[in-house]
Amino acid sequence: MLELNLIFPYSSSKSFTKLKSPVKIPTPPTQNIIDDDDEEEEEEVGPERKTVSRRAQKENIGGNTICASYGRHIVKSAEMSVKNFGCQELSMTIEDSISGNERKCVLRGSWADTKVKIGDVVNILCVDKNVEEIVINDLNGLVVVNPDMLVSGTSIVSTLFCMRKAVLNERFKGQDTGSRTMLIGTLVHELLQESLRQDLRTTEAINAQLEKCLCQGPILKSLLALNMSQMEMRKEVEPFLPHIKYFTEKYVLGKNPSHPDPAFAAIGGSSRQATGQAQVWPGKVEAIKDIEENIWSPRLGIKGKVDLTVQVRKTGEKSDKILPLELKTGRPSGSAEHRGQVILYSMMMSERRPDPESGLLLYLRTSSMQEVKAGIHEMRGLVQLRNGLASHIGDDFEVKYILKKKEKNSREITLFEKSNFCPKIIF
């Protein structure tokens, strides 16, 4: 298995301080985060009172270290060729961003379809970068094209079903007004997180926290926009309360409570049959490290927000691991989209901590939790999806707005792309 020991984190996270629960949530140590602000602060240096930019100091101190650990190169040339048995390979001449030395990088297998052009920045993530000719194939190495463009993990996994939809969502962010299902998911997420933060163990305490959440300003605005009342939303969220309590007792406190009934109608059978299908992860949550942890990974060109960062110990193992936990409030489908999102969080988390090589996926409707392994094939496919999405939302994508005055308030929007993908879309 390919080892991605990602170092020198470039991310930001939220932290919280006090928790009454036996679950330990320590305050994360202060991290030196590179400041991207344009304003430059001045400080006095030496007896001559010279001024030095603080931002310039940070770039000079950490630039070489970052580039060296990221395998940052610039593409000088790229040529496609056909080798034995009709197999294609992409040969690139790349320039090291530190030394300026040029070397050759050959992409084979599924990597041969990578879209690169002269001047692109690429991160070469492989076992050995100190060779004259780097070979990246399906079993060795990763290539991240234009990693300075940080793409969200949610957008990457959405390309599994429709690349066009993912591109349009990235181009027109903030246009979605939300839905009933999204609001329920948001409220359940917040309720579980607050229950863990405040050590709420009883159904009454969790129900009281639900009432507080329903009275929050953003929730009330969303309810008004959806034409829903607090009572209607309470009926939608109340079936999740036993599952929140079950998660706390089972995985946090280490008890063996009875499995609650699913929070929705049984799928193709009775509630007992649906309950029996729920997966129980053999382990215990020793500590909760963070909630809603923001991670930016310029090495992978990915950003994301982890629902829960937990320190766990699997049954039969003597050491703990810090894993990402992704919470889903929908049906326990175990889809490639959900699993891919967990793998992406695992890859990004390895920048801050030892590589977890896996993550946890929790379906709260049925209290089903499973561990998702991050293998080389899964990581390769997700990085390739990321590269494809980044190429489409980059400079190759041109948007033209055509306003017509034939009728009042009528508008036609035409989207053109220079590549062969999505040549024309008309709304």
298-330: per-residue pLDDT in tens?
Answer: 999 999 999 999 999 998 888 999 999 999 998
Domains: count for the chain? 4
Give the three-state DSSP class for 107: strand
Q: Are 140 and 166 in contact (CB under 8 A)?
A: no
Dihedral sign from CA coordinates of 339, 322, 261, 315:
positive
Percentage of the chain beyond pLDDT 90 is: 48
Q: Are 81 and 96 found together in one domain?
A: yes
Tokens of 131: 């060779």
Strand partners, 288: 310
Q: Which of 378, 380, 338 shows the shortest CA–CA distance to 360?
A: 338
DSSP three-state, residue 143:
strand
Tens of pLDDT along 258-294?
888 887 643 333 343 344 467 899 999 999 999 999 9
Give residue 49's pLDDT: 34
Residue 59 has pLDDT above 50, yes or no: no
Indicate whether 171 belongs to any domain. Answer: no
Work out the average pLDDT over 352-377. Answer: 92
Residue 216 within any structural domain of the chain: yes
Same domain? For 135 and 192 the reply is no
Residue 389 phi, psi (nearest 5): -65, -40
Mean pLDDT of all residues in 142-157: 93
The reported pTM is: 0.75
Same domain as 125, residue 78: yes
Q: Is residue 39, in this structure, part of any structural domain at all?
A: no
What pLDDT does residue 53 have?
35
Count of alpha carbons within 13 angstroms of residue 179, beta-carbon side? 4
Residue-wise pLDDT tens digits, 182-237: 999 999 999 999 999 998 988 899 999 999 999 999 899 999 988 999 999 999 99
Please name the helix (run of DSSP H) or strand (run of DSSP E) that holds residue 360, with its range, or none: strand 358-363
CB 121 within 8 A of CB 67: no
287 and 337 belong to one structural domain: yes
DSSP structural state of residue 258: P
Same domain, 21 and 80: no
Nearest CA to 374 among 349, 414, 344, 351? 344
**358 assigned to some structural domain:** yes
- Would you state the pLDDT for residue 395? 54
Average pLDDT over residues 21-49: 39
Between CA 70 and CA 48 the distance in angstroms is 37
Pairwise CA distance, residues 314 & 102, whole Å:
46
Segments forming the whole domain that contains residue 297: 1-33+147-153+269-395
Domain C-terminal end among 125, 146, 167: 146
pLDDT digits (tens, 9 = 90+) for 81-94: 887 777 889 999 99
Do 119 and 133 lie in one domain? The reply is yes
Give 159-174 pLDDT, tens digit per residue: 988 888 888 888 777 6
Instruction: Tell me what pLDDT residue 177 has.
Output: 64
Mean pLDDT for 48-56 is: 35
Same domain, 368 and 278: yes
Segment 378-414, tens digit of pLDDT: 999 999 999 999 988 875 444 433 334 444 444 444 4
- According to DSSP, the residues that pair with 352 across neighbouring strands are none
Do 303 and 388 belong to one domain?
Answer: yes
Task: Tell me, yes or no, whether 186 and 242 share the same domain.
Answer: yes
pLDDT surpassing 80 at residue 124: yes
* Sign of the torsion formed by the C-alpha atoms of 124, 129, 133 and 137: negative
Give the other-Cβ count within 10 Å of 292's Cβ: 15
The reply to whether 286 and 366 lie within a common domain is yes
28/15 same-domain check: yes
Which CATH number characterizes residue 108's domain?
2.40.50.140
Q: Which residues of 329-343 are buried (b: 16+ CB within 10 A; e: fewer)?
A: beebeeeeebbbbbb
Pair 125, 209 in one domain = no
